[in-house]
Amino acid sequence: MRHIVVTGAGRGIGKAIAVRLARDGATLSLFARGADALEQTAEEVGGAFTRGVDIRDASQVDDAFRAAAAANGPVHALVANSGIGGPNEAGDGDRFYDLVQTNLVGTYQCMRAAERVLAAPDERRDVVVIASILARIGVPGYTGYCASKAGLLGLVRSFAAELAPQEVQVNAICPGWVATDMAWEGIDLMADALGVSRADAYARAMTEVPLRRMSEPDDIAGTVAWLLSPDARGVTGQAIDQNGGAFML
């Protein structure tokens, strides 16, 4: 049974990933800032090791991964999903540093901590990073989010090359609009800026999506499950664009 760590597992995409992986038979360790939401996820998946973690704090991250390995054995996979969103702007309240420190530096710290407690080389090992379509495109007012998510793709490629001799596969997923609290907060900000209703803002946002709809968290969870499966053997250093066609290479 594979031991998989999922960060940001309290809600949204992270929760959906935890539920899917539990259904597939994984032993789970779940991390997030919000303890109450995390415990709800653990209950829903039938039990898991849980730890409240601020991934900006390297010592907290190291302690959490060591504790998870002590509880559930060496780690076979990390799904690095923790992150924050929203805009930032120049001035005293600029959130740029916090966005980069959380999304990019925090994810790096999780990947290094996971590396230190990985399972033996004769077992399959994986890292999957949840990036964003904003790693691919620029959006006004989202300099911190775009920069941090774009940085994750460089991080994934570098880690994939670095860990390839140990046969550790490292990949990213770049979701577009996904029906989560974070996405709806973005729709509401758009509605306020345009002076329109939430429904009108949603309709306008979906004009940029060829499939004309948001993805569901379960959609992203399914792609994570595939990347961790034998069917994805040999897939490494890739960024999978799962965004309804909003960005096509």
Active site residues: 145
Most distant pair of Cα atoms in the chain: their distance: 57
* Residues whose CB is less than 8 angstroms from the CB of residue 87 and which lie 6 or more positions away in sequence, other chains included: 95, 141, 142, 145, 189
Encoded tokens for 10: 């309290």
CA 19 to the chain's CA centroid: 15
Contact 132, 86 (CB under 8 A): no
C-alpha–C-alpha distance, residues 116 and 181, integer Å: 33
> Quick one: CA dihedral 162, 166, 168, 169, positive or negative?
positive
Encoded tokens for 71: 């509880």
H or E element in which residue 72 lies: helix 58-72
Contact 224, 20 (CB under 8 A): yes
DSSP state of 104: I
Tell me the three state secondary structure of residue 86: coil
